[in-house]
Amino acid sequence: MTTFAPHRSTVESFVDIVHGSADKDALAGVLADNVVLYSPLDNEPLTGFDAVVFAIQTVHGTSAKLIYSEVFSGETHHAIAFRLDIGDTGVDGMDYILLDDDGKISEITIFWRPLPSGVELQAKLAPGLGMQPWELRTNGE
């Protein structure tokens, strides 16, 4: 018999909140205080509620078009497929989500592709997040 990770409703609420206004109080209902965000934006994860909410709200405030299309549930984790467009740059991606024993999101790992668009998108978001913009180097450069 297949079992599924509990608290799928938390993940569905997260999608609704991010599709809405990304309100900090609403996010407090679904994110753990010690939530960790692993993203393709930086080598180091963002740790803690305030840092993760700041990142979510920064992306939300960049005139980004973020569309979550499907929630997947497995035995221990959930995942959400998405499309993120900022201006003429877009990526397809997946948020891989772990929930704590209280049913709050404790860890989010973001994957996206293709690499050239991901690097371009990171460069657009980096200044607002206080990060160094990346540069894609090819052909041995």
pLDDT tens string, the chain, 141 residues long: the values are: 566 778 889 999 999 999 998 999 999 999 999 999 999 888 899 999 999 999 999 988 887 789 999 999 987 789 999 999 988 889 999 999 999 989 999 999 999 988 888 888 888 888 898 988 988 887 765
Cα 80 to Cα 133: distance, rounded to the nearest angstrom: 26
Q: pTM for the full model?
A: 0.85
Give the distance between the most distant pair of CA atoms in the chain. 52
Cα 82 to Cα 94: distance, rounded to the nearest angstrom: 6
Helix H or strand E segment including 22: none
User: What is the crossing angle of helices 49-60 and 115-129, to 10°?
Assistant: 110
Q: What is the pLDDT of residue 69?
A: 94
Q: What is the pLDDT of residue 1?
A: 57
Q: What is the pLDDT of residue 5?
A: 77
Percent composition of the chain: helix, strand, coil (DSSP 3-state, to 5): 30, 35, 35
Q: What is the pLDDT of residue 139?
A: 72
CB 92 within 8 A of CB 113: yes
Q: What is the pLDDT of residue 75?
A: 79
Closest to 79 (Cα-Cα) out of 3, 8, 21, 136: 8
- ∠ CA 121-69-112, nearest 5°, is 30
